[in-house]
Structure 1
Amino acid sequence: RLLLRNCRLSDDIGFRFSDRSWNQYPLTADKYSLWLRNTPGDLVLVAMDYETFGEHHWPESGIQEFLAWLIRRCIEQGIEMLTVSMAGLKYEVRDIYDIPPWHTISWADIEKDTSAWLGNLMQKRCFEMYTWIEPYVKAIGGEYLNYWRLLGTSDHYHYMSLKTGGPGEVHSYFSPYTNPFEAFETYVEALTFLIHSSLVEYREHVSRYAWRLRLPPRMSFQFYLTEGVHTGYSARGLDDLLRLLDVVPPESLVYHIRRGDLQMWISTTILWPELSHEIDRVRKISKIELLVRELKRIVESARTP
């Protein structure tokens, strides 16, 4: 179940409470409780950061007194207070909310999308590097995976924002860096070091790690009968490849071996050139049955016990 945050009413407290230029300033408990009561729907989800109390709004702003009186006024207005769990149990599902990845929503900045973290070229390039190394660090595990997860903290990307105005002030206020470019340089240096050290570790023990590798669909090997004629099969790792050798039409395997497609994928994506060279030896076998049999033998023998 998903509870949708009321953006306006949440930001009225979270960001606008102490803004003297706001046309509703000062915000009182009487006024806000009336807004809550007159809002349609089963419930109103008011969600804000912990920084709201004492960071965004200092005690001198009256935020604490506002909260104390708000609870009293809500009780007087017959407004019930619920936790998220209580609300989820009390109310029936109203509808399906379908958000594709390219329309992801957030409560950040004016746009309320992912632009706070992936809105400029620096952020996008860093994220591309970060997601590219993902399957390899997951195959290795251990401290490499832990460091990778730490570099995935959204704050790193938040600090690289080039936004101006109010949103820009928020980004720079929390950043430990002088400017977004310093944040970018620092992050790239750390991520590049992780990528390099991970690939060195992966290559040193490739016969073990390669079998743990689970690639995303965009990096998988696609089987074709001829150019433009897809078989419907794809391999996201060596386990998939070994299984599909008994399923994919032999003509498809021969097609890719003759062209060197499979060898290239194993060398440049699986990062196992030695296995690629072994497989390339079957290219000259003329009989399809013998070629497929030898291909399967080579892949099976590469598995570490």
Structure 2
Amino acid sequence: MSEPHVSVLLGDVVRALEPAPGKLIIDGTFGAGGYTRAFLAAGADVVAFDRDPTARRFAEGLEAARFRLVEARFSQMDAELGEGAADGVALDLGVSSMQLDEAERGFSFMRDGPLDMRMGADGPTAADIVNTADAAELARIFFVYGEERQSRRVAAAIVRRRTEARFERTLDLAEVIERALGGRRGAKVHPATRCFQGLRIAVNEELSELEAGLAAAERVLKADGRLAVVTFHSLEDRIVKGFLAARAGRTPAGSRHLPPAEAGAAPSFELLFNGARSASEEEIEANPRARSAKLRAAVRTAAPVWRAAA
């Protein structure tokens, strides 16, 4: 039996969003429902989003009058609810601990399972990418999304091996990656960690979904509504930091994932605090997953939504 899921930075997220009776909070990454339960306990109404159809099992017993779960990507929150509908948005990014614990989902090389990695139920799997992408594309995925410096060596090893047999299982791929990187056994980080991260991000289009989700949050929040985002690696955090800095008028807008936003627009967010907040030593000791977590938060101003420049 796996450890019970613990929502990372739960107290900090609740304090940032200030859920209360009469407020509508969007839990954009429902998962096991830890944030949602805290928001409901504070008296708020909650609409949660999760593209994973298996997440619905964690909604059992939640008060139907004040809670609704939508099986969709969080980037669709404004399309579902309309502009200016919410008082708060929470996003807890990345793969959930439940998904990692389920070998059949194929997210982890710690347990053998099918090479899937999809958070939802549709689209190409990790096996599809590993068995069909050329060496240059695989190297790009591992380098850009996984930040693996030896991405070309790994990609070449994968392409050589798949001429003999398709990749279908997580441990098979992890072993090939480990051999390609010299089998750095005993290291704190398993040699396949970065490549598996890169594949997962590519399969689920996580970075473009994050960009679209932040823009959707800007649209769905009413004036004085609050946004809280918990990230777990530098790629996510850079996107959130850049989005909030731009929308708060702290830096020029710009992202390599989206068209440039309009220049000279009034700030649509004010930062709740400078920089990012991290978990306490006590929380990290109780929940090691919190070690890499960062929270950034902001308050929606009354300024119009920024529009993408032509």
Shared fold per TM-score greater than 0.5: no
Relative CO higher for 1 or 2, CA cutoff 8 Å, sep ≥ 6? 2
Larger Rg: 1
Place the TM-score, normalised by the shorter chain, in its bin.
Answer: under 0.3
Q: Name whichever structure is richer in helix by fraction.
A: 1
